[in-house]
Chains A and B, each alone.
Chain A
Amino acid sequence: MAITVVEVRQLARLASLAVDEAEAQRLAGELQAIVGYVEQLSQVDTAGIAPVANVAGLSSVLRPDVPGPMFATAQVLANAPARNEVAILVPKVVER
């Protein structure tokens, strides 16, 4: 798979990152190298091997529906750049 400046711009948009032209050029090269490295995996013969979504070898780790610890509202808001007494404040964004 070829990573061009077009893909980089698209990725940057999805990640809400501002990327200038020079950066996009550089990132295209770097990402191409990463993808190329991972692409070596496609040389492995996986015929007859079931897809694995999780490598921990676990399944169905469940918890009972019992309340656990929660934060006080002040703690929830502590790291927010803007807040009032009860909520985090963000610039009004109209639905995506």
Chain B
Amino acid sequence: MEYEPVIGLEVHCQLATTTKMFSGATTVFGREPNSQVDVVSLGLPGALPVINAKAVDLAVAAAFALGGAVQAHSKFDRKHYFYPDLPKGYQISQFDEPYCIGGAVLIDHADGTTKSIGLTRIHMEEDAGKLIHQDNGLSEVDLNRAGTPLIEIVSEPQLRSAAEAYSYLMELKRALKWVGVSDCEMQEGSLRCDANVSVRPVGQTRFGTRVEIKNLNSFRAVESAIEHEIAQMIALHRAGRQGEIVQCTKLWDPDHKVTRIMRLKEDAADYRYFPDPDLPPLVLTEAHRERIRASLPELPRVREARFQQQYGLDRTAARDLTADAAIADYFEAVVQLGAAPRLAANWTREEAMRLAHEQHRSLTEAAPPATMAKLIGLVESGRVARVEAKMSSTDLFASSEDPEAYFTRLGKIQVQDAGALSSWVAQGIAQEAKVVADLKAGKMAAIGRLIGATMKLSGGKADPNAIRAEIIRQLGLG
């Protein structure tokens, strides 16, 4: 019998605000512990929460970027549990009236087909503090993160493999980063993911027993943990031991690549949600929602499709160039400055991205678009050999010299004088009698040696394509 995994993801995303969800304490990552704490983050009696307007706007932008229906009316509830990272004894969240319902994330399969993964809901909430476990049986409580604004994005159980879950997360991250909602750094915890996994025989509509996996703090961890859990569940099914799959919460252990049971269903928390009396309901007027919708940039999938149509790029190139809005903007800036789109696409993906990565700088800083466009122009017109341009790019961009002046100074501008070319080729032919004989015998593969010899005679100043054409012309091979 064949089995089918059923996966749903719950993703928490920190919103890129300066201050917390309900108070003015700052939210900078990596600061000294307990240095960004105020009355509200500490849960002092009588301290009142007030909603951060920017957090609301970012949450709404995220909802629109994911195609969700932003609700005119929503409210905040208290979710109660005791844990040392939660000073108030409850987390402010949205329970039965989230600010956004529905939406979808489109994922691409390798075969070129697209699948839509529905979203159940998105709600706003506050983050908890952080516990740093020590060896001496104690834990340090750091409340810097307590109260940081979050959105939780809940998918429908429509993912059918670990690979789909991975694509879903990548696509979600692209959309959220694109509209500036969050930096989505899993390593820094600004994007976090829990996975609900079950397995059922193909054709069965009822879901199998579900396991929730937590502690997934990298994209690879999400994929590996789900893969591991699915394999384990299918093995139990095949052995007729599916009864041993119990509903529980598991933790992913990345060091040993296994999932371990953390809590059984019987111990499931009873959160006793109720409306937070400290917070009035959130009303988002039509005008407010429209203002945010109108301020959104062209979304990544739309831009990706446009790059293919408008610039004739293939799918992979269009996808690479829309991985990030900064890359897409850079590419289009280079094109605007006159570079051929396909060359601009290659040079952006290869050279500009390499330089930016190596130097930890933005694309525009590492390889200014104007210089890049001129460099591409020189390659396109054949005045500088592509290989030469690539080899020199690090040095050229570091020098901030004009590309034409730079290659002229180095004597690397290729000579396009037909007379000179013709005489270099004639010399080459005279030198390489053996190669000429091979060529005349139809062994065209030999032409590389003759091009190389001619190139040498030219002192590297001839364009290899022009040499090839001239050889063919002189030997009458065409």
- Chain A interface (Cβ < 8 Å from any Cβ of B): 10, 14, 16, 53-54, 56, 58-71, 73, 76-77, 82, 84, 86-96
Inter-chain contact B140/A87, CB cutoff 8 Å:
yes
Alpha-carbon distance A58/B137, docked complex (angstroms):
47
Contact of B19 among A60, A62, A66 (CB under 8 A): A66
B391 within 8 A of A: no
| Nearest opposing residue in chain B for A15, CB measure | B82
How many angstroms from the CA of A82 to the CA of B140 in the assembled complex?
10
B32–A69 touching, CB < 8 Å: no
CB distance from B335 to the nearest CB of A (A): 36
**Can you identify 9 A-B contacts, CB atoms within 8 angstroms?**
A14-B272, A58-B280, A62-B53, A71-B37, A73-B33, A73-B34, A87-B140, A88-B34, A92-B137
If A67-B25, A73-B35, A90-B141 touch, whether A95 touches B262 (CB-CB below 8 Å) is yes
* B140 close to A89 (CB less than 8 A): yes
Prevailing SS type, chain A contact patch? loop
B residues 100-152 touching A (CB-CB < 8 Å): 131-134, 137-143
Q: Which residues of A contact B281 (CB under 8 A)?
A: 53-54, 59-60
B81 touches A96 (CB 8 A): yes
Q: Interface size bucket, B side?
A: 35 or more
Other A-B contacts than A54-B281, A62-B50, 10 sampled, CB-CB below 8 A, are A62-B52, A63-B53, A65-B17, A65-B53, A71-B39, A77-B34, A88-B34, A88-B84, A90-B131, A95-B262
Inter-chain contact B132/A87, CB cutoff 8 Å: yes
Looking at B55, B131, B132, B251, which has the most chain A CB atoms within 10 Å of its CB?
Answer: B131
Task: Return chain B residues, CB-CB under 8 Å to A54.
Answer: 75, 275, 277, 279-281
Which residues 49-76 of B sit at the A interface, judged by CB distance below 8 A?
A: 50-56, 75
Give CA–CA (A69, B169) in the complex, Å. 37
Q: Which 4 A-B pairs have the closest CB atoms?
A: A68-B24, A65-B54, A87-B140, A53-B275
Q: Type the 1/0 row for B14-51, where 1 means its CB is closer than 8 Å to any CB of A.
A: 00011100011110000011111111001000000011
